[in-house]
Amino acid sequence: MPELAKGGVTRKASKQSLSKVTKKPPKRRRKARKQSYSTYVYRVLSQVHNSSQISSKTMSIMNSLMIDIFERIASEASHLIHYNKRHTISSGEIQGAGQARLLRQRQDGHQVHQLHLA
């Protein structure tokens, strides 16, 4: 014989009626935000060249350029802290990474220039 819940209704029937009443429509997931540097690029552009505009394709190129530069600086800084046997990246490592990256680019450009002259 099925067990009776409060009010003379079987437990199985009471669970079914509760699930029907409390069923809510599924929540819609919020779209994940994509981070970009487009607002910052636009602000700098408006400060430097007030009347200039930028196309969306050019903005996407600038955005990928900024992402690439920051990734390179971060990887160089992580190499520096690995060499110095530290565990935290400080502003000194970031500055050193930026200077090392610029120095390498200058040397590479100098070598390319020397190849063209020869």
- Main-chain phi, psi angles of 42, to 5 degrees: -65, -40
Query: In which residue are the tokens 């029907």 written?
Result: 20
Q: Encode pLDDT of 84-112 as tens digits.
A: 888 888 888 888 888 887 777 776 666 65
CA separation for the pair 99, 109 (Å, rounded): 15
Q: Which residues have C-beta within 8 Å of that of residue 38, sequence separation ≥ 6? A: 59, 62, 63
Q: Is residue 19 part of a domain?
A: no
CA separation for the pair 48, 26 (Å, rounded): 49
- If one counts every other C-beta atom within 10 angstroms of the C-beta of residue 93, the result is 21
Q: Is residue 83 part of a domain?
A: yes
Q: Is residue 30 part of a domain?
A: no
Q: Encode pLDDT of 12-48 as tens digits.
A: 655 565 555 667 788 888 888 888 999 999 999 999 9
CATH number, position 90: 1.10.20.10
Q: Is residue 60 part of a domain?
A: yes
Q: Let me know how long the chain is.
A: 118
Count of structural domains, the chain: 1
- Which domain covers residue 42, as residue numbers? 37-115
Going by pLDDT thresholds of 50, 70 and 90, the confidence category of residue 115 is low
